[in-house]
Copies of this chain bind each other. A is one copy, B any other.
């Protein structure tokens, strides 16, 4: 009897299927489906490198070596030890993650610490050395009041709140430390009347240069980024990132919300993202040789869905018209409340967002890019799994979200993939022979095409006439590279002989259509925002691009396909992860923290699905580069040249 095994491959973002007889091993099905998986031990179930997750259907296990009870309950299995007895759906985790637990990490060097930075005043954490008078028969003040008095008289901190959990510990700490302690407090509010909150009490005095650790965290739909920051110097001492383990339950926010709305789904999503953060925190702390409770604050950003799922707040209303969040300004909580394994008393500050599809990642991006302080009109664009943008200056800010979808991350494009080893990242097409040349990340054989490659491919194909203005493949060209297929006309970028898996890498009419939708949604976003405030895109003084998306794309080509507006190149600036940088600023400086709340309040959110002009603008932009060529004079000029 034959069974169908479907694989979801995290590394490439692709799916694959195999049909295998009963009794086959999962590793055989992987091979059949053309999915590479490491087997250093030769398939003997020893190395644990072929771990996959069976999300539907059952397997028979020959061995469960290297798997915990929790792993088994979650469906994790060794592919080389799992016997297939029925149809299966299998998730293949990123191989780098299995091998190194980490997809990317490096010690930060390039984050600039704000000037004139002095941790004692610019941020809300205070660390103070206290010398308490021991109690005696004539001074029977209780431990908490004694501590509060010392804070008042020795550190000028008028009122201090203490959690029950910490209250349970202070008596022992004070006595063991013989009344010489270091107190760590969160001043919580710039308003000096509000009580400070005691976060930690440590025995003995602490030298003022000793690092004081905090975390800036960006929860992306795809990737969670974690910065470990020393609040004394303001330096970022570690930057690491890992896939958001919610990926196993859906690639985009909508599928995450759907999953979270099922029985138990919300709890699972919450613990998945918390697990990812905890894994990052553990790694970062281990490398810096510090203990997790030394991390006494965290500033978090993410899109509104990610923040709802992190907090365990139902996100269902985000997905349904009229698209309402439960909360845009989450209350301050402690790490304990959501199970973050840093100091349990650590303040967890989820920065404020604006709306269902404009979250704290965008307000933090505005903060770190300074759009809200600029005298000139700036357009800020963050393309990740979704596309959000902000237009404005110091006087006004408008924002919208385009359901661009993750096409530029490779989803919805048959040979699309994320920007990693084996991805074609740039393409050139000879205008006479229509033969392409390309560059592959890592230099090996190509496995697919990543976002920058797709942009470059689309631009080249359009300029050389392989694609027409509407995105149709010109199959009448005199080259074997163009041909008809089940997905409409297609263009072969790499022949099977050149590729990793032996299959041709192509772009089809359907792929082009998905890419056009994505870029048209983004371009229509600019148009509607500009129209709303009555300015022209020509008035935009700077265009700032955040997110990892921007890091590798070629501006000229992005303009040629109409993804970016046609403006002088020097106006574009690529900023990388503006979201985590905003969280970092909010951590370091309470005025920045106040500013991000002010940004969230000031931003006028335009719900595009409620806007009649959006549809028209979208349809006009469903062309290469646009129906109205006068908006793209440099592209028009380039076309005339070819």
Interface of A toward B, CB cutoff 8 Å: 135-138, 140-145, 161-164, 167-168, 170-172, 175, 193, 311-314, 316-317, 321-331, 333, 337-338, 355-356, 605, 607, 609-610
B contact residues around A322 at 8 Å (CB): 135-137, 140
CB atoms of A143 and B327 under 8 A apart: yes
Give the CA-CA distance A317 to B322 in the complex, in Å: 58
What are the nearest 9 A-B pairs in CB distance? A137-B610, A142-B325, A171-B326, A142-B328, A144-B327, A135-B324, A143-B326, A137-B322, A168-B313
Give every chain B residue within 8 A of A321 (Cβ-Cβ).
137
The residue from B317, B329, B337 contacting A164, defined by CB atoms under 8 A apart:
B337
Min CB gap A103→B, angstroms: 30
Q: For A135, what are the chain B residues with a Cβ–Cβ distance below 8 Å?
A: 322, 324
Measured in the bound complex, the distance between the Cα atoms of B60 and A603 in whole Å is: 72
Q: A164, B328: Cβ atoms under 8 Å? A: no
Q: Is the CB of B145 within 8 A of A328?
A: yes
Contacts of A136 in B (CB 8 A): 322
Q: Which residues of B have CB within 8 Å of A142? A: 324-329, 355
**Chain B, Cβ-Cβ closest to A136:** B322
Looking at the assembled complex, report how far the CB atom of A384 sits from the nearest CB atom of chain B, in whole angstroms: 21
Q: Which residues of B contact A330 (CB under 8 A)?
A: 167
- Give the distance to chain B from A219, nearest Cβ to Cβ, in Å: 16
> How far is B346's CA from A634's CA once the two chains are assembled, in angstroms?
66
CA distance A567 to B143 in the complex (A): 40
Task: Report yes or no: A167 in contact with B327, Cβ–Cβ below 8 A.
Answer: yes
Known contacts: A137-B607, A355-B140. The answer to whether A175 contacts B327 by CB under 8 A is: no
Q: What are 17 sample pairs from A and B whose C-beta atoms fall under 8 A apart?
A: A137-B607, A137-B609, A138-B610, A140-B356, A140-B607, A142-B329, A142-B355, A143-B324, A143-B326, A162-B331, A164-B313, A164-B333, A167-B311, A167-B326, A167-B330, A168-B314, A171-B326
Closest to A330 in B: B167
Cβ contact of A312, chosen from B168, B311, B313, cutoff 8 A: B168
Residue of B nearest to A163 (CB): B331
The oligomer's copy count stands at 2
Expressed in whole angstroms, the Cα–Cα distance for A321 and B168 within the complex equals 20
Q: Chain B residues with Cβ under 8 A from A337's Cβ?
A: 164
Would B144 and A326 count as touching, CB distance under 8 A? yes
A sample of 8 more A-B contacts (CB under 8 A), given A135-B322, A135-B324, A137-B321, is A137-B322, A142-B324, A142-B328, A143-B326, A164-B312, A168-B312, A170-B326, A172-B314
* Residues in B whose Cβ lies below 8 Å from that of A609: 137
Let me know if B607 and A331 touch, CB within 8 A.
no
Whole-angstrom CA separation of A428 from B281 in the bound complex: 76
Task: State the CA gap A172–B320 with chains docked (Å).
Answer: 13
Q: Looking across the interface, which residue of chain B has its beta carbon closest to that of A161?
A: B331
Question: Which of A138, A326, A356, A609 has the most C-beta atoms of chain B within 10 angstroms of its own C-beta?
Answer: A326
The docked-state distance in angstroms from the alpha carbon of A314 to that of B317 is: 45
| Distance between Cα atoms of A143 and B337 in the complex (Å) | 21
Nearest-Cβ distance from residue A152 to partner chain B, whole angstroms: 14
- Complex: A145 Cα to B329 Cα, angstroms: 8
The answer to whether A164 touches B610, judged by C-beta atoms less than 8 angstroms apart, is no
Q: Chain B contacts of A311 at CB under 8 A?
A: 164, 167-168
Looking at A142, A163, A322, A610, the one whose CB has the most chain B CB atoms below 10 A away is A142
Chain B residues in 8 Å Cβ range of A325 = 142-143
Q: Which residue of chain B lies nearest to A332 when distances are taken between CB atoms in the complex?
A: B161
A611 to chain B, nearest CB (A): 9
User: When the two chains form their complex, are residues B140 and A171 in contact, meaning their CB atoms are under 8 A apart?
Assistant: no
The minimal Cβ–Cβ distance linking A420 to chain B, given in whole angstroms, is: 36
Residue of B nearest to A315 (CB): B171
Q: How far is the CB of A136 from chain B (nearest CB, A)?
A: 5
Q: Is the CB of A331 within 8 A of B140?
A: no
Q: How far apart are A47's CB and chain B's nearest CB, in angstroms?
A: 41
Whether the pair A171, B313 counts as a contact (CB closer than 8 A) is: yes
Cβ B144 vs Cβ A329 within 8 A = yes
Chain B residues with CB under 8 Å of A605's CB are 140
Q: Which residue of B lies closest to A316 (CB)?
A: B171
| Assembly CA distance A140 to B322 (angstroms) | 7
Considering the chains assembled together, what is the distance between the CA atoms of A137 and B609 in angstroms? 9
Complex Cα distance, B333 from A399, in Å, reads 40
A536 to chain B, nearest CB (A): 26
Most buried by B among A136, A322, A324, A337: A324
Chain B residues contacting A141 (CB-CB under 8 Å) are: 324
Contacts A171-B313, A171-B317, A328-B145; is A323 near B164 (CB within 8 Å)? no
Q: How far is the CA of A121 from the CA of B355 in the complex (A)?
A: 37
**Docked pose: A366 CA to B102 CA in angstroms:** 63
How long is the Cα–Cα vector from A323 to B355 in the complex, in angstroms?
55
Give the distance to chain B from A141, nearest Cβ to Cβ, in Å: 8
Nearest CB in chain B to that of A143: its residue: B326
Enumerate chain B residues within 8 angstroms of A317, measured Cβ to Cβ. 143, 171, 175
Q: In the bound complex, what is the Cα–Cα distance between A445 and B379 (angstroms)?
A: 94
For A170, the chain B residues whose CB sits under 8 A away are: 326
Q: Measured between alpha carbons, how far is A335 from B225 in the docked complex, in Å?
A: 36
Residue contact B140 to A324, C-beta cutoff 8 Å: yes
On chain B, the residues within 8 Å of A314 by CB distance are: 168, 171-172
The residue on B at minimum CB distance from A193 is B193
A175 to B141, CA, bound (A): 50
CB distance from A322 to the nearest CB of B (A): 5
Closest chain B residue to A321, Cβ basis: B137
> In the complex, what distance in Å separates the CA atom of A440 from the CA atom of B356?
74
CB-based nearest B residue for A333: B164
Decide: A323 and B140 in contact? CB cutoff 8 A. yes
CB distance from A633 to the nearest CB of B (A): 36
* Distance between Cα atoms of A329 and B161 in the complex (Å): 11
Which B residues are CB-close (under 8 A) to A316?
171
Min Cβ gap A121→B in Å is 25
